[in-house]
Amino acid sequence: MELKSGFLTGSVVAGFLMLAVPGVSHSQTTNQVQQEAILKELQALREEREAFLRQMEAFDQRIDQLESQLRSTQQVQQPADAEVAAMDGAEAIEPPVDEDRPESETWGRYEPGKGLVLARTPMGEVDFSAFTYARYLNQHGLEDTYTDSFGRESAIDIRDDVQFQKLTMNFKGWLFDPDFRYLFYTWTSNTSQGDPAQVVVAGNLGYQFNDAFNLYAGIGALPSTRSTNYTFPNWLKNDHRTIADEYFRGSYTSGIWANGTLAEGLKYRTMLGNNLSQLGVNASQLDDQFNTFSTALWWMPTTGEYGPGEGLGDYEWHEDLATLVGIHYTHSREDAQGQPGTEGFENSQIRLSDGTRIFSEDPFGVGSNIRKATYDMIAINGGFKYQGWSLEGEAYYRTVDDFLATGPLPIDEISDYGYQLQGSVMLIPTELQAYLGYSKIYGDNGEPWDVSLGMNWYPFKRKEMHLNVQGLYLEDSPVGYSSVPFAVGGNGWVFTTDLIVSF
């Protein structure tokens, strides 16, 4: 019986185990299916997260583009002219600071028109911006010598070199009151090392009373032409003008100025300065007259704006026709600015149309030097932008008279006029731009002209960094110095390639 009972018990147990084994196998199969499902869901979620992150990155890029376009329509100005200073950014009318925004949104980021926001607090703001470029210059297409209208022959220093051409570093913002603005900058032109004013450390201070009146004091550009009216660096060419603009324009000096908006689309800028150009001129060399005056009035009738800084070229791609007309007037009583008892002729702003500086020694070849002269110049400009196309024109008329000289002169007055035209098209929106420029001067000592053809490539589809390639043909250029591609007396072709960073 015991044997039989044991056998029965073992049979029952064996049978139970036989029934249990399929259940265990089924449970294991169910777990594998669940694990595979979970792994698939995890993979799908990871892929969805990566797609979402890519979409967020695209959103951020689009937001940056729209913010940049919005600032363009609000006329937030870009960093200023690196030839002397970056005053534009300091004068841009910026929105008030919203202290309720998260800290990450108020500082430590890049904002077009300001640069990098280093600090933004209830007591002030510090923004950093810069302008610089590397240039390859080839002047082998120029003739080696030049003869002026008086028969004097000069050698032309032909260049073929690569230069880290210029560097401007700007610190700007407001202090204690958002309407109290400051700009401190350091500027240098590496090709001008050894020349006067090779390194400039300066700036300006100002207060924005309202939209119609803002007042500044410091180093400023006389608003004598379109290019000196705070349009830089929004030009078609990189860091140089047509020869007509360069010939007629005023320059940069210390003084006081006011600007503002008089009505929708109607703006002005007016400046009182020490002279036409204070570069390389110290205070003891200035005369005792505060009699340099320059003013500009411009109107944008169709859209009320004309892009960043009212610059040249329709990079922003205006869907509606944008137009601009403006008038500039400049007057200055100029002095030869020699040190007492010396003949240090440093003011080269006023020239004859053959390139002769009127304050150089014996400019007319009659044994007389000019010590004082009165400069008056008027410029009228206009242009339009539409769907990537632009056309800009400017006409100039200048007189120089009321001479004080060391002896008799063959003339009583210098009277000349000229014009420039510049057109462009965006071949690929936000990426590739082509332009053509021409200018001519009509003077008693020659009728020089120039033509330029160039392209701007924006590899990041942003204006802050681009590559410029240009061919420039000169006919008896009356202007030129080391930081521009043209030379005084230049005849022939000049080629440049520039890599520009401007933020």
Determine the pLDDT at residue 51.
77
Structural domain including 223 reads 74-153+167-502
Residue 366 dihedral angles phi and psi, to the nearest 5°: -120, 10
Give the number of other Cβ atoms within 10 Å of residue 189's Cβ.
Answer: 24
CATH code, domain carrying 323: 2.40.160.10
Answer yes or no: is 111 within a domain: yes
Greater confidence (151 vs 90) lies with 151
Instruction: Note whether residue 41 is domain-resident.
Output: no
How does 426-446 read in b/e, with b if 16+ C-beta sit within 10 Å?
Answer: beeebbebebebbbbbbbebb
**Whole-number Å distance between alpha carbons of 481 and 452:** 18
CA-nearest of 347, 293, 301 to 324 is: 301
Has residue 496 been placed in a domain?
yes
Q: Is residue 120 part of a domain?
A: yes
Please report, for residues 126, 146, 307, 425, the alpha-carbon distance to residue 500 in angstroms, rounded to integers and kept in the order given. 24, 32, 20, 20
Mean pLDDT of 104-111: 72
- Structural domain total, the chain: 1
| Across 65-88, average pLDDT | 48
Residue 95 lies in a domain: yes
Question: What are 289's two structure tokens?
Answer: 């007259």
Q: Residue 367: is its pLDDT beyond 90?
A: yes
Kindly tell me if the per-residue pLDDT of 200 is higher than 50: yes
Q: How far is CA 21 from CA 15, 25, 91, in A?
A: 10, 6, 85
Check: CB of residue 398 under 8 Å from CB of residue 404. Answer: no
Q: Which of these, 373, 333, 331, lies nearest to 351 by C-alpha position?
A: 373
Q: How confident is the model at residue 188 (pLDDT cuts 50, 70, 90)?
A: confident
**CA 89 distance to own-chain centroid:** 10
* 263 within domain boundaries: yes
Asked whether residue 214 is assigned to any structural domain, the reply reads yes
Residue 28: predicted pLDDT: 56
Sign, CA dihedral 355-187-456-430, equals negative
- pLDDT for 67 equals 65
| 492 φ/ψ angles, rounded to the nearest 5 degrees | 125, -165
pLDDT digits (tens, 9 = 90+) for 446-495: 999 999 999 999 999 999 999 999 999 999 999 998 889 999 999 999 99
Q: Please report, for residues 203, 360, 372, 423, the alpha-carbon distance to residue 412 in angstroms, rounded to integers and kept in the order given.
A: 39, 17, 13, 38
Q: Is residue 48 part of a domain?
A: no
